[in-house]
Amino acid sequence: MPSLKSYLSFFAAVLMLGQVVSAQAEALPDFTGLVEQASPAVVNISTTQKLPDRSVADSQMPDLDGLPPAFREFFERSLPRKSPNGKSPRGDRQREAQSLGSGFIISSDGYVLTNNHVIADADEIIVRLADRSELKAKLVGTDPRTDVAVLKIDGKNLPTVKLGDSDKLKVGEWVLAIGSPFGFDHSVTKGIVSAKGRSLPNDSYVPFIQTDVAINPGNSGGPLFNMAGEVVGINSQIFTRSGGFMGLSFAIPIDVAMDVANQLKKDGKVSRGWLGVVIQEVNKDLAESFGLDKPAGALVAQVLDDGPAAKGGLKVGDVILTMNGQPIIMSADLPHLVGGLKAGAKADLEVIRDGKRQTLSITVGALPDDDEDGASVTPKAANESSSDRLGVSVTDLTADQKKTLDLQGGVVIKDVQDGPAAVIGLQPGDVITHLNNQAIGTAKEFAEVAKGLPKNRSVSMRVLRQGRASFITFKLSE
């Protein structure tokens, strides 16, 4: 039979295990106080859009193929469908599209922040408060570039959220979201900050906060809180292959959102800084070709004529390393910094040019409303040259092509044979303006530079395709 000593040892082990479990429970964060304090200022947003009968196809939802393949907006539109007899279930001639989202009150007199995509194209916006009262909202302004919208509801002494400082967020910090996923009001989910300063496709001006907080359709526009109960972001996008949450959520930093909101309230629009350049990432091979110690910075692939960068002396092939003392680690860091400046502000750029560091001071311009389109190129007969080393034949640009592309020189590819040019994807009609960090003016110059290219070292080439410029690299082994 077990001895008294064995029983005592068993009970001691159980007591120790209980103490360990209790200590672990105490170490986990308690969100109850935060939720009680913050929930009253979080609202549900529903919209209605009137659609002509013909714009609703039988048993079809809206086509979402135009969205980036992995990023989907956080709301679903519920469209009435035709019955078998071809009529609306309610017999209406005009159909309505509805959407659901979230938002939060930032001032006691009724200003509300949400996402632009939640209220886009809405004819009516209804804000439902925590006490379930519903108010019609007026649209103050929107900014599609940051996906931020400001609404106004009539009210006094409304509950408000506390605003935090998204710059002080740390990776690994606990965060919490409150919103209306699938219409379930005031649902709470938690997680941690996975990364900061993320750049997403088509979102050059937002350094997103990445989290693993569970976000689903309906959470769009809702607040992201830190453990102090302060809003640090607006939940905006998710990465998904299934349409639902997969562990990657993205929030607009509250600092960015409030700057946009204040401009919308004051001016009705948002102004951003603009340099007038096309940039690209510096990879390992490009870093080697430009004489950099490591891949970093933003490579200037194109300088727009008469833009701020052109007037300030920035040139194609410059690698921007810092702006106003802020390091440019990834090329996407530059638009975030420039966009935060106002027109007329100074931007001091530290660049690498011809292997040497120098500083340029540029007066920032205002970002145009519309992006400038590139021009296509149709090769025509001209002085011709070829390079057996690259496997490509080129011709001089005509006067019309130079005028169309706003170039002083360059060559257009006439034919691509087997060789390095084919391997790196060059095509007839592509325009080459730089080879091995040297400007190319004519087909003759191209042949001379190509003849002297080094072996077994990364070589850069600047190529324009349909007016869009980029640097590519290759190596010659022979």
- Between CA 263 and CA 270, with CA 269 as vertex, the angle to 5 degrees is 65
User: How high is the pLDDT of residue 409?
Assistant: 84
What digits encode the pLDDT tens for the residues 265-281? 999 989 889 999 988 88
User: What domains lie within the chain, and their CATH numbers?
Assistant: 30-270 (2.40.10.120), 273-366 (2.30.42.10), 384-474 (2.30.42.10)
- Judge whether 218 and 182 are in contact, CB under 8 Å: yes
Indicate the pTM of the whole model.
0.66
- Average pLDDT rounded to a whole number, residues 215-219: 91
pLDDT band at 80 (very low <50, low <70, confident <90, very high): very low
What digits encode the pLDDT tens for the residues 435-447? 988 888 888 888 8
Question: In Å, what is the CA distance from 335 to each residue of 197, 273, 323, 340?
Answer: 12, 9, 11, 8
- Reduced 3-state DSSP string for the chain: CCCHHHHHHHHHHHHHHHHHHHHHHHHCCCCHHHHHHHHHHEEEEEEEEEECHHHCCCCCCCCCCCCCCCEECCCCCECCCCCCCCCCCCCCCCEEEEEEEEEEECCCCCEEEEEHHHHCCCCEEEEECCCCCEEECEEEEEECCCCEEEEECCCCCCCCCEECCHHHCCCCCEEEEEECHHHCCCEEEEEEEEEEEEEECCEEEEEEEEECCCCCCCCCCCEEECCCCEEEEEEEEEECCCCCCCCCEEEEEHHHHHHHHHHHHHHCCCCCEECCEEEEECCHHHHHHCCCCCCCCEEEEEECCCCHHHHCCCCCCCEEEEECCEECCCCCHHHHHHHCCCCCCEEEEEEEECCEEEEEEEECEECCCCCCCCCCCCCCCCCEEEECCCCEEEEECCHHHHHHHCCCCCEEEEEECCCHHHHCCCCCCCEEEEECCEECCCHHHHHHHHHCCCCCCCEEEEEEECCEEEEEEECCCC
Residues 135 and 43: their CA atoms lie apart, in Å, by 11
For the chain, what is the mean pLDDT? 82
User: How high is the pLDDT of residue 177?
Assistant: 96
The yes-or-no verdict on residue 68 having pLDDT over 60 is no
Query: Cβ–Cβ contacts within 10 Å for residue 234, how many?
Result: 29
Known active-site residue 147: yes
Question: In Å, what is the CA distance from 273 to each residue of 312, 320, 334, 337?
Answer: 14, 16, 11, 9
User: How high is the pLDDT of residue 446?
Assistant: 87
- Average pLDDT rounded to a whole number, residues 307-322: 92
Known active-site residue 6: no
User: How high is the pLDDT of residue 77?
Assistant: 38
- Average pLDDT rounded to a whole number, residues 308-324: 93
The yes-or-no verdict on residue 225 having pLDDT over 70 is yes
Structure-block tokens of residue 278: 């096309």
Identify the weakest region by mean pLDDT among 10-14, 47-51, 458-462. Answer: 10-14
User: How high is the pLDDT of residue 325?
Assistant: 92
User: How high is the pLDDT of residue 130?
Assistant: 92
The yes-or-no verdict on residue 74 having pLDDT over 80 is no
The yes-or-no verdict on residue 65 having pLDDT over 60 is no
User: How high is the pLDDT of residue 379?
Assistant: 33
Identify the weakest region by mean pLDDT among 17-26, 64-73, 362-371. Answer: 64-73
Identify the weakest region by mean pLDDT among 27-36, 107-116, 198-207, 442-451. Answer: 198-207
Identify the weakest region by mean pLDDT among 18-22, 314-318, 343-347. Answer: 18-22
The yes-or-no verdict on residue 381 having pLDDT over 60 is no
Closest alpha carbon to 343 in 310, 360, 365: 365
User: How high is the pLDDT of residue 50?
Assistant: 77
pLDDT band at 118 (very low <50, low <70, confident <90, very high): very high
Per cent of the chain over pLDDT 90 is 42
Residues 450 and 390: their CA atoms lie apart, in Å, by 7
Closest alpha carbon to 228 in 157, 158, 168, 159: 168
Known active-site residue 117: yes
The yes-or-no verdict on residue 467 having pLDDT over 60 is yes
What digits encode the pLDDT tens for the residues 416-439? 877 788 888 888 888 998 998 888
Closest alpha carbon to 296 in 316, 323, 322: 322
Please identify which of the residues 220, 385, 393, 460 carries the catalytic annotation: 220
- Average pLDDT rounded to a whole number, residues 28-43: 93
Structure-block tokens of residue 50: 């009137």
Question: In Å, what is the CA distance from 125 to each residue of 80, 92, 150, 153, 307?
Answer: 19, 21, 12, 10, 40
pLDDT band at 386 (very low <50, low <70, confident <90, very high): low
What digits encode the pLDDT tens for the residues 248-266? 999 999 999 999 999 999 9
What digits encode the pLDDT tens for the residues 341-360? 988 999 999 999 988 899 99
- Between CA 292 and CA 299, with CA 298 as vertex, the angle to 5 degrees is 75
Please identify which of the residues 46, 99, 102, 117 carries the catalytic annotation: 117
Please identify which of the residues 143, 147, 255, 430 carries the catalytic annotation: 147
- Average pLDDT rounded to a whole number, residues 190-211: 88
